Amino acid sequence: MGKQGRKRLVSYALFLAALFQCRFLAFAILDPLDFLALQLIRKSMNDLPGSSFFASWDFTSDPCNFTGVYCESDKVIALNLGDPRAGFPGLTGRLDTAIGKLSALTEFSLVPGRVFGSLPMSISRLENLRVLAITRNFISGDIPASLGRLRRLKTLDLSYNRLTGKIPRSIGTLPELTNVLLCHNNLSGSVPPFLSQALTRLDLKRNALTGSLPSSFSPSLQFLSLSWNQLTGPVDSVLSRLDQLSFIDLSFNRFTGPIPDRIFSFPLTNLHLQRNSFYGPVQPGDQVKISTVDLSHNMLSGRISPMFSTVQNLYLNHNRFTGQVPDSLVDRLLSASLQTLYLQHNFLTGIGINPAAEIPQSTSLCIQYNCMVPPVQTPCPLKSETQKTRPTSLCNEWRG
């Protein structure tokens, strides 16, 4: 073979080697630590009957093609366990501590199923984690305080589990948190301060939290739900600064003090403050544009403000309101613009409705058990007071 022939042969061999290398790199080998971690996670969990989430997890093939596994180069960057479609069976078993070996992980989620046991402490080693969402399972035990090491975390969703203990104060110090959902657990203790200036959603409802609210929340907060806890103390100074809120639910607690008038000018769609011990008058400074306002079952007093006439669903029942119902509320009710008006169990003395007036079928009015004879008979909630009118002695005592 001549010199030129040998050169062509060498060039061809180099071409084949390069081609082989390109084909090999197209199926890059997963980092051995990540490969082992996925194996251990798989061994610790199984599909519930009717689920086939793990059907593609065949470790003789490329794990980056597994359902729920997303890779970048040779590392796992996202792991979404379980079928997220509503009504589909989830997974069962335990979450293995090997999850902490996936060092490049930025997102980890575990959707509804029957995974039990505690949260692995090893999650705290995932320094790149931005989303941690383990929801609607049977996770129990405490929330590890070491989660405070996840300084890049934006979403923490541990809702609908069986977590106990306190919310670690270290979580409140995470600087980039935007969403915190710890609702429907058995958490106790106080609500820690949340210092992130990016926080928009805080949902802690349905726990056993006690104490008063921290002195401040991030002014960026848009969604706040603390209902069904045992929280106490005033809220006016805290709420007055949260002028970006679009949803507030503080119902079924033991809050006291006045309701800040400024709150009615916030860009809210829903305001739920029922079943507390708020007291004093309520006098919004302008027309209230909130769709649903529920202030029922408190100790609010004074006259009902006509500024509430632009609300669609207004619940002021079981308070201590007095005087005449504003005509603007009656007009809006009769035009079906105000859909729900519950005023029962107060000390109201009059409402300007003609006994012959037709109440629109699409509206709901309840005015029984006040210091007046209802001019019209309307259906009230089944659990409402059965007496139509409050006894005169109680009305005179309240006036006195």
Each residue's pLDDT tens digit, 334-349: 999 999 999 999 999 9
Q: Which residue has the higher pLDDT, 266 or 8?
A: 266
Per DSSP, the three-state class of 360 is coil
27-394 CATH, one of 3.90.1300.10, 3.80.10.10, 1.10.606.20, 3.60.21.10: 3.80.10.10
Distance of CA 229 to the CA centre of its chain: 14
Q: What letter does residue 260 receive in the DSSP assignment?
A: P
CA–CA gap between residue 82 and residue 103 (Å, rounded): 21
CA–CA gap between residue 306 and residue 316 (Å, rounded): 13
Q: Name the one residue in this structure whose structure tokens are 């027309």.
A: 287
- Looking at residue 399, what is its pLDDT? 66
- Looking at residue 20, what is its pLDDT? 38
Q: Which residues does 63 contact at the CB level (< 8 Å), separation at least 6?
A: 30, 34, 35, 38, 57, 69, 71, 76
pLDDT digits (tens, 9 = 90+) for 85-135: 877 899 999 999 999 999 999 999 999 999 999 999 999 999 999 999 999
pLDDT digits (tens, 9 = 90+) for 345-394: 999 999 999 888 888 999 999 999 999 999 988 888 877 667 889 998 88
Q: Which residues does 274 contact at the CB level (< 8 Å), separation at least 6?
A: 251, 252, 294, 295, 296, 297, 298, 315
CB atoms under 10 Å from CB of 224, counted, come to 24
The answer, yes or no, to whether residue 17 has pLDDT greater than 80, is no
